[in-house]
Structure 1
Amino acid sequence: MGPTQSAATASDEPTRLADIIAPMFSGQSGWSQRLHDGVQAELVAGADAQDDCAVFGIDGPMEIVVGSDYVRGPKFQLYELGYLSNYDIGYYLAMANLSDIAAMGALPIALLTVVRYPRSLPDADFTALMEGIRDACRQVGAPNVGGDIGSAERIILSASAVGIVERGGSLLRTGAHAGDRLCVTGPTGVAASAQRYFGALAPDSSKLRPAEEEALISAWRRPQALVRQGRCMSTSRVVTSCQDTSDGLKAGVQSLAAASGVGFVVEESALPVAGIVAEVAQLTDGDLTSVILGDSVDFQLVFTVTEDEASRLSKIFADAGLQFFDIGCATAEREVRLRRADGREEELPGAPWRHAT
Structure 2
Amino acid sequence: MTPRKATYSDEPTRVQQLIGEFLTGQSGTSVGADGLDVRLTAGADAKDDCAVYDLSSPMSLVVGSDYIRGPKFVLYEMGLLSGFDIGYYLAVANVSDIAAMGATPIGVLSVVRYPHEVDDAEFQEVIAGIHQGCTDCGTLNVGGDIGNAERIILSATAFGVCKPGSALMRSGARPGDLLCVTGPCGLLGAAVAYFPKRDTFEKALSDEVERRLLDGWKRPRARVAEGRILGTKAYATACQDTSDGLKATIEQIMHASGVGFRVVEEDVPVEPAVGMVADLMGVESLALSMSASSDFQLAFTLEAGKLEKCRAEFALAGLDFHVIGEATDTGRAESVNHLGAVRPLPGVAWKHQKSDISLLATGRVEE
Q: Does 1:163 align with 2:122?
A: no
Cα separation, 2, equivalents of 1:287 and 1:80:
28
Q: Does 1:117 align with 2:117?
A: no
Q: Does 1:70 align with 2:35?
A: no
With over 3 angstroms needed to count, the CA separation of the structure-2 counterparts of 1:99 and 1:344, relative to structure 1, is: same
The CA RMSD measured in Å over matched residues stands at 1.7
Q: Does 1:335 align with 2:332?
A: yes
Amino acid at match of 1:226: R
Stretches of structure 2 lacking an aligned partner (at least 5 in a row): 1-54, 355-367
Helix, strand or coil at the partner of 1:101: helix
Map of 1:1-357 to 2, 5 A cutoff? 60-72=57-69, 76-202=73-199, 207-355=204-352
Identity across the alignment (%) = 48
Cα separation, 2, equivalents of 1:173 and 1:204:
39
Cα separation, 2, equivalents of 1:143 and 1:107:
12
Amino acid at match of 2:249: G
- Aligned 8 A contact 1:112 1:147 in 2: yes
Cα separation, 1, equivalents of 2:218 and 2:200:
19
- Aligned 8 A contact 2:198 2:204 in 1: no
1:24-69: CA deviations, max 9, x gaps?
Answer: xxxxxxxxxxxxxxxxxxxxxxxxxxxxxxxxxx994321110000
Cα separation, 2, equivalents of 1:195 and 1:60:
44
Deviation at residue 349 of structure 1 after TM alignment: 1.5
Helix, strand or coil at the partner of 1:202: helix
Cα separation, 2, equivalents of 1:353 and 1:204:
24
- Aligned 8 A contact 1:137 1:144 in 2: yes
Deviation at residue 262 of structure 1 after TM alignment: 0.3
Deviation at residue 319 of structure 1 after TM alignment: 1.1
Stretches of structure 1 lacking an aligned partner (at least 5 in a row): 1-57
Cα separation, 1, equivalents of 2:185 and 2:343:
20
Deviation at residue 203 of structure 1 after TM alignment: 8.7
May I ask how many residue pairs the two structures share in their alignment? 300
Deviation at residue 208 of structure 1 after TM alignment: 2.6
- Aligned 8 A contact 1:73 1:155 in 2: no
Cα separation, 2, equivalents of 1:100 and 1:108:
10
